[in-house]
Structure 1
């Protein structure tokens, strides 16, 4: 066997997993989200920077604030999902680097003095962490529907008024409901993607 992960786990995380568009009413608990985060926080990032921030929208009021900024096709499923998470990155992530990367405390000032550098590094590494989070949700036996169809500036102003966080994506999370999944779309083949030099 080429892969160490057993076939059932491979299916759960990759082959059978798809973006969910409907969900049951079963709630997603705080304990589930914490277990997911406590697993995926170990995914690698540059200099161990951890710019990803999760804003969990549980109340109807917080959900309505988001819906005003969602693309029309994303509104119904976001309104009905048991949990919606706004995944963003913290522009001030570098302030925590001395504790997260203690063997090189100079990294904070040497590499991240410029805000433009922090913004590009934060966006890239938070995107990595968002991918880990999606796999973590799947590993908990839940479905996830990540979306970028929304007014990014509007969501930033609505939830991050101080301008220190920027939204990456919005993810609906829960147990899949009826007709939750569209047919699997094609993927590029190994030969389309891989070049050996």
Structure 2
């Protein structure tokens, strides 16, 4: 059954990428709910390589700050939460649990190209699901690149098999500071039916 126009507006048509934030905190319980929704999105072979660090505390924000590109510092420091969307390069070790009906782990062991492509693609999908889950729960999002991945990995993922993919600022956006929506490509410019 299709969603209502109000729901489609909230998720897509009226939703915007935010760079300015209201000084309103985001509760930890809401972040847990957000993750639970995002985790339901599909990934190939249910691989679920996405790993998430919800950077909230002043100490964690200070650790993240030196890794940010200059244009991303102010908005990221002002955001109530910044999510580091990471990808576990050893995600396949969880496949006996996540995809138990076959030996999917064996598809990946020793195949670095497949591991890298699967981790990148599917953690990106999971980050997108996180954005849509945030919008569905009344939060705004500001996804971004523009950071030193090596610094983020050293600070937040040292000693693990996780690498950073991208960042998402979360909170309650200041709608008064939005610029006009940028154009989108039309169907005929970007798609075709074969």
TM-score range, shorter chain: over 0.9
**Mapped pair 1:124 → 2:121:** yes
Alpha-carbon offset, residue 79 of structure 1: 0.9
Alpha-carbon offset, residue 81 of structure 1: 1.1
Q: May I ask how many residue pairs the two structures share in their alignment? A: 194
Q: Residues of 2 paired with 1:16 and 1:170: CA distance?
A: 22
SS in 2 for 1:179: helix
Q: Which residue of 2 is the match for residue 159 of structure 1?
A: 156
Alpha-carbon offset, residue 64 of structure 1: 0.9
Output aligned runs, 1:178-189, within 5 Å.
179-189=176-186
Provide the TM-score with structure 2 as the length reference: 0.94
Give ranges in structure 2 of 5+ residues lacking alignment. none
Q: Residues of 2 paired with 1:65 and 1:127: CA distance?
A: 23
Provide the TM-score with structure 1 as the length reference: 0.93
Output aligned runs, 1:1-197, within 5 Å.
4-104=2-102, 106-162=103-159, 164-177=161-174, 179-197=176-194
- Contact 2:140-2:173 at 8 Å conserved across structures: yes
Give ranges in structure 1 of 5+ residues lacking alignment. none
Alpha-carbon offset, residue 194 of structure 1: 1.8
- Contact 1:156-1:163 at 8 Å conserved across structures: no
Alpha-carbon offset, residue 8 of structure 1: 0.5
SS in 2 for 1:145: strand
Q: Which runs of 4+ in 1 moved over 4 A?
A: none
Task: State the Cα RMSD in Å.
Answer: 1.4
Q: Residues of 1 paired with 2:193 and 2:55: CA distance?
A: 45
Q: Residues of 2 paired with 1:110 and 1:165: CA distance?
A: 19
